Amino acid sequence: MKKNITFLFLLLLVLASCSKTPDIDNATMLDGDQIYDPSIANPKKYLISDSIVSPSDIQKNTPVIIAAHGYSATTFEWDELRAYADSAKTFYVSQVLLGGHGLTYADFKKATWEDWQSSIITEYRKLDSLGFKKIFLAGSSTGAPLIINMVKSGFFATQSTQPKGIFLVDPIIVSSDKALTMVGLLGPILGFTTVELSNGEKGHWYVYRPQQTLKQLMALINITRIDLQNGIRLPTGTYMKVYKSKTDATADPISALMIYKGMQTSVNGNIDVEMIDSKLHVFTRLEGRADVTAADSATQKRVFKEMELKMKN
């Protein structure tokens, strides 16, 4: 018996003393200290509040969409929407970099989900104070619960302009990988998890996910799930649509039903939901993927067009 206890103690000691620092390749990984999100060096290209500091009346009445990316990603996730907007010239895209993202592994590790959300809040406040009248929001994956939380917290009620619409692409309320629910127990043992990236994705996503950030992600989606369970009302006049891939190995598609049941318009109406025939997580981002089909491209264009038309009206 004593031997068993000693063995267990030693095993725990070995596990606890395992290296919790990932092997970061600075030259190729976002996790390192050489590659940063480009919006940090060139905010004017990404943030409308930086590029249009004294908007004209026409600019103030042009729709502007704040696009928030997902967990461990960067502004890259919405580059294609910006390219679409540059071509359509009917709306602006303000690509926010979530707090704690786009820098080093150490910066990512210490950020909370409130830090992630802070850059969306900051950009909304700036656009509101600059006088933009038609502000929309788009959130992909974790960007979605961050925006839903802004609705729930009453943030928009403190602003002079209410958002005209919110688009959520593959929102995560439930993770497809249910091991995330055990992050409190397994996290300290593992230290971090690793993801495989395609060549086109390298440098745009973190390869290593610190357990501290996974705990933050779990906390955020759990809070949002409970908030949805109790019901959330959209601000007056705010439209919402959820686009969700039917097969998604990252954000469980049940997330769409939870949002549909949990969100209500200001006049007690249902929000719009469309189940997309896709196997991609964040199907609106095709750049950097190795396996894009013609159907994926068509879906992306159709959804961007639909968002554009909604913003025009």
Partner 1 sequence: MRKLSILFFVSLMFIPSVWSQSTDSYDLGIGVRIQKTEQLYWENGFGADFTSDFLLNRKIHLKLSYISSRMGSAFNTNAIKQDNYLIGADWRFRSEKSLQIFAGFNTGFFHADMEIPRFNVLPHNSMLFSLETGLAYRFKFPVAMNLSLGYNLINGNGVSSPGTLFPVFYEMSIFYYLDLPEKSKIKNLAPSNAPE
Question: 3-state DSSP helix/strand/coil percent for the chain, to nearest 5?
Answer: 45, 15, 40
Binding segment for partner 1 among 37-45, 98-106, 258-266, 289-297 (CB under 8 A)? Answer: 258-266
Q: Which one of residues 174, 240, 242, 271 is an interface residue with partner 1 (CB under 8 A)?
A: 174
- As a dihedral over the C-alpha atoms of residue 158, residue 160, residue 162, residue 164, rounded to 10 degrees, the angle is -160
If binding is defined by CB under 8 A, does position 56 make contact with partner 1? no
Helix axes 79-88, 294-312, angle to 10 degrees: 60
Candidate residues 8, 83, 254, 309; the one interacting with partner 1 per rule CB under 8 A? 254
**116 contact partners, CB below 8 Å, separation of at least 6:** 71, 98, 99, 100, 101, 142, 146, 216, 220
128 vs 252, beta carbon nearer partner 1: 252
79's enclosing H/E stretch is: helix 79-88
Nearer to partner 1, 200 or 231 (CB): 231
User: How many Å apart are CA 83 and CA 86, to the nearest integer?
Assistant: 5
Q: Name the segment binding partner 1 (CB under 8 A); options: 1-9, 143-151, 207-215, 251-259.
A: 251-259
Residue 166 C-beta: closest distance to partner 1, Å: 18
List the one residue from 147, 258, 280, 286 that touches partner 1 (CB under 8 A).
258
The whole-angstrom separation of Cα 60 and Cα 251 is 35
| Closer to partner 1 by Cβ: residue 184 or 237 | 184
Query: Any contact of residue 273 with partner 1 (CB under 8 A)?
Result: yes
Residues that contact partner 1, how many (by CB under 8 A)? 33
* Whole-number Å distance between alpha carbons of 45 and 95: 9
Contact with partner 1 (CB under 8 A) among 31, 123, 201, 252: 252
CB of 295 to partner 1, least distance (A): 17
| 95: its two tokens | 């690509």
Whose CA is closest to 113, among 33, 220, 218, 186? Answer: 220
Reference 77, options 201, 197, 218, 217; nearest CA is: 201
Q: What are phi and psi of 252, to 5 degrees?
A: -60, 130
Contact range with partner 1 by CB under 8 A, out of 100-108, 119-127, 130-138, 225-233:
225-233
Cβ distance to partner 1 smaller for residue 95 or 141 = 141
* Residue 256 interacting with partner 1 (CB under 8 A): yes
Among 275, 295, 298, 309, binds partner 1 (CB under 8 A): 275
Q: Which amino acid is at 78?
A: W
Q: Which is nearer to partner 1, 135 or 217 (CB)?
A: 217
Q: Provide the β-strand partners of residue 224.
A: none
In whole angstroms, the minimum distance from the beta carbon of 222 to partner 1 comes to 5
Question: With contact defined as beta carbons under 8 Å apart, do 287 and 280 qualify?
Answer: no
| Residue 45 C-beta: closest distance to partner 1, Å | 35
* Beta carbon nearer to partner 1, 130 or 257: 257
Integer CA distances (angstroms), 295 to 122, 244, 277, 286, in order: 36, 15, 9, 11
Contacting positions for partner 1 (CB under 8 A): 174-179, 181-182, 218, 222, 225, 228-231, 246-258, 260-262, 273, 275
